[in-house]
Amino acid sequence: MKVGDSSVRRRIVAFSNPTIRLLRGLRDKRQRQREGRFLVEGLRLIEDARAGGRLPEMLVVAQNRAHPPLLAEIEAAVAAAGGEVIETSAEILAKIAGKDNPQAVCGVYAQWETGLAALDPGSARLWLVAQAMRDPGNLGTILRTGDAVGAGGLILIDDCADPFSAEAVRASMGAIFSQRVARARWPDFLGWLRGQDSQGRQPRKSGQLVAASLRDAVPYRGAPYASPCFILVGNESRGLPVAYEAACDLRVTMPMRGRADSLNAAIAAAVLAYEVVASFDG
Amino acid sequence: MKVGDSSVRRRIVAFSNPTIRLLRGLRDKRQRQREGRFLVEGLRLIEDARAGGRLPEMLVVAQNRAHPPLLAEIEAAVAAAGGEVIETSAEILAKIAGKDNPQAVCGVYAQWETGLAALDPGSARLWLVAQAMRDPGNLGTILRTGDAVGAGGLILIDDCADPFSAEAVRASMGAIFSQRVARARWPDFLGWLRGQDSQGRQPRKSGQLVAASLRDAVPYRGAPYASPCFILVGNESRGLPVAYEAACDLRVTMPMRGRADSLNAAIAAAVLAYEVVASFDG
């Protein structure tokens, strides 16, 4: 295959260009949602995405830079798939990325379906569920942990940070492309978890919902985890609402030997997830 | 005790005031080190510090704000200890904190001794060690985890982020005040760990050094951990240098079931730390 051909590139160096304006807008959550697109910075993540079967609709590369051969290969793949390759200045790339030293390449991807209906709870032994989590870095870290433990995906309840934000994508280290992500309201999530259809009948097995909690909890080590297990972690400062904890099948507690009474949410999710996986593997 | 007395406050509203300039400078790592001071934002962290026996040398409070009774109590304690209480404008507080919506109060603390010599490895069953960790948020999260698992403290090897930076202090959720922190070069750390004195004699027991690794490693679950156990985690993108891994007493591996080959450094440290604690508790 012939690579290194930069003829597929369209050159844009005007800040006022509508495409550039659109790209800059993708740093804003509302605009990302309106456009149904998101931005991924850096060749490594773009290559991860390609390995997972996803190509950007648009690739933006810095002009006058020595690029690795891999980039030319990805450019060719994007063009062959009907996508667009844009070459622009370092200044404009910095504006798009919103930082002084941007990566030399970024990609624009279509967001995907994030409804629960498409997910089968029984397709994985373990799922992660975040409620009102506000830190996109935490969300991304949880996605990365989910990938490592072989989770089915991440389900976002209530008003969470945007998993398609640059910070979440970066912290996920590519797991945004391998983990499934769904957004749901709490009652809809519970119905789905319990295997109920829209008439309230239960055609399939219920998942087990587990919360890290201080109320009515058993030690997390050796607790009776059951597949498919859903680990629920709450908001960074408020934790889970009492009613949500009460709806869980299992409340587990982790030793706290210091002055603090809680762990970072992504840390708690990871320690629990590794415990659940170990208990399943016997 | 009479509280709510604001007469201890000195009012400064000029950006050019030398004290204000010094405070603003504390956002810069080099200036923090030169001054031997650091900044803590928010009443909650300041109260955590007081609970741990530390009062700020200087307290900076926003003028024209309704403050909780606790603040007046802390103001009185700071003044009684010979510290200074400064009242200033919201604009200046925003400049000091480096953000638009700063907390209504911040404190300036003296940094403390961070040499290894003052630490006794045998004083705790578990210690955390970070090598070339560049993300202050990760450092703070590891401090917070250390507090939760009852670790002796955090030892920083090579060129790490500053544990006294605002981001690390915030992520630590107060654990910067309860965990001991030391900085050391690798050979000095090894000597201390091995219990050697300056003549190379070994007057005390050696600590066990454990790394998460893919090379020559045993499963992390059920590995032969021994107290005092030192969990070593490496740089966020490069991991540990091969020679450092080789110097470890135990290399453990954690299941990686996804496409990625590593966890976030703070996550790996926490999963290992909880495993070590569980193995000690039997």
Tell me which chain A residues have a C-beta less than 8 angstroms from the C-beta of B145.
263-264, 267
| Chain A contact for B174 (CB, 8 A cutoff) | yes
- Residues A143-161: tens digit of each pLDDT: 999 999 999 999 999 999 9
Average pLDDT over residues B6-31: 89
| Chain B contact for A238 (CB, 8 A cutoff) | no
> Cα B1 vs. chain centroid, distance in angstroms?
33
* Backbone torsion region of residue B38, taken as left when φ is above 0, otherwise alpha when ψ lies between -120 and 50, otherwise beta: beta
Q: How far apart are CA B58 and CA A197, in angstroms?
A: 61
DSSP-assigned beta bridge partners for residue B108:
B39, B58
Q: How far apart are CA A164 and CA B230, in angstroms?
A: 37
pLDDT given for residue B6 in this prediction:
54
| Chain B contact for A54 (CB, 8 A cutoff) | no
Q: Answer yes or no: do A260 and B171 touch at CB < 8 A.
A: no
| Chain A contact for B146 (CB, 8 A cutoff) | yes
Topology classification of domain B6-110: 60s Ribosomal Protein L30; Chain: A; (3.30.1330)
Domains of chain A, residue spans: 6-110, 121-281
Q: Which amino acid is at B220?
A: Y
Average pLDDT over residues B88-107: 89
Interface test with A, best of B238, B267, B275 (most A CBs within 10 A): B267
Q: How far apart are CA B13 and CA B20, in angstroms?
A: 9
- Residues A63-118: tens digit of each pLDDT: 988 888 999 999 999 999 999 999 999 999 999 988 888 888 999 999 987 889 88
Give Cβ neighbours of residue A211 (< 8 Å, ≥ 6 apart): A231, A232, A233, A234, A240, A244, A245, A248, A250, A251, A252
Cβ contacts below 8 Å, chain A against chain B, sum to 115
HSE-CB for A217 with a 13 A CA cutoff: 16
Instruction: Retrieve residue A198's tokens.
Output: 């829209």
pLDDT given for residue B4 in this prediction:
46
B155 with B128: CB under 8 angstroms?
yes
Interface test with A, best of B238, B264, B281 (most A CBs within 10 A): B264
- Residues B123-165: tens digit of each pLDDT: 999 999 999 999 999 999 999 999 999 999 999 999 999 999 9
Q: Answer yes or no: do A146 and B259 touch at CB < 8 A.
A: no
Q: What percent of chain B has pLDDT over 90?
A: 77
- A228 upstream amide cis, omega within 30 of 0: yes
pLDDT at residue A1 greater than cutoff 60 = no
HSE-CB for B44 with a 13 A CA cutoff: 10
pLDDT at residue A2 greater than cutoff 70 = no
Vertex A110: Cα angle to A10 and A229 (nearest 5):
150
Question: Per-residue confidence at B3, pLDDT binned at 50, 70, 90?
Answer: very low
In the sheet with A126-131, reading across from the earlier edge strand, the strands are A180-184, A153-157, A126-131, A229-233, A208-212, A250-253, A218-219
In the sheet with A84-88, reading across from the earlier edge strand, the strands are A9-11, A84-88, A58-62, A105-110, A37-41
Q: Which of B148, B263, B264 sits opposite A263 (nearest CB)?
A: B148
pLDDT given for residue B103 in this prediction:
86
B173-189 in b/e form (b: 16+ CB < 10 A) is bbbbbbbbbbbbeeeeb
Q: Who has greater pLDDT, A232 or A255?
A: A232
- Residues A26-76: tens digit of each pLDDT: 999 999 999 999 999 999 999 999 988 999 999 999 998 888 899 999 999
Lookup result for tokens 């690739």:
A59
Which segment of A220-229, B93-102, B168-177, B181-190 scores lowest on mean pLDDT?
B93-102
Min Cα–Cα distance to chain A from B260, Å: 7
Q: Which residue of B has its CA nearest to A51?
A: B259
Q: Answer yes or no: do A147 and B254 touch at CB < 8 A.
A: no
B59 with B105: CB under 8 angstroms?
yes
Average pLDDT over residues A170-177: 94
Which segment of A15-24, A157-166, B2-11 scores lowest on mean pLDDT?
B2-11
A36 with A107: CB under 8 angstroms?
no
| Chain A contact for B267 (CB, 8 A cutoff) | yes
pLDDT given for residue B213 in this prediction:
83
| Chain A contact for B221 (CB, 8 A cutoff) | yes
Average pLDDT over residues B94-117: 88
Q: Which amino acid is at A206?
A: S
pLDDT at residue A4 greater than cutoff 50 = no
> What value does the mean pLDDT of chain A take?
91
pLDDT at residue B173 greater than cutoff 80 = yes
pLDDT given for residue A130 in this prediction:
98
Q: Answer yes or no: do A256 and B221 touch at CB < 8 A.
A: no
pLDDT given for residue A38 in this prediction:
96
- Provide ipTM, 2 decimals: 0.90
Q: Answer yes or no: do B259 and A52 touch at CB < 8 A.
A: yes
Q: What percent of chain B has pLDDT over 70?
A: 95
- Residues B199-243: tens digit of each pLDDT: 767 666 789 999 988 778 999 999 999 999 999 999 999 999 999
pTM of the predicted structure, to 2 decimals? 0.91
Lookup result for tokens 């060129």:
B159
Q: Which residue of A has its CA nearest to B173?
A: A260
pLDDT given for residue B198 in this prediction:
66
Topology classification of domain A121-281: Alpha/beta knot (3.40.1280)
Min Cα–Cα distance to chain A from B222, Å: 11
- Radius of gyration over every alpha carbon of chain B, rounded to an integer in angstroms: 21
pLDDT given for residue B99 in this prediction:
83
Q: How far apart are CA B122 and CA B114, in angstroms?
A: 17
Average pLDDT over residues A201-208: 78
| Chain B contact for A256 (CB, 8 A cutoff) | yes
| Chain B contact for A183 (CB, 8 A cutoff) | no
pLDDT given for residue B2 in this prediction:
41
Average pLDDT over residues B24-43: 94
Average pLDDT over residues B3-29: 84
Tell me which chain A residues have a C-beta less than 8 angstroms from the C-beta of B259.
48, 51-52, 147, 174-175, 178
Q: Answer yes or no: do B175 and A51 touch at CB < 8 A.
A: no
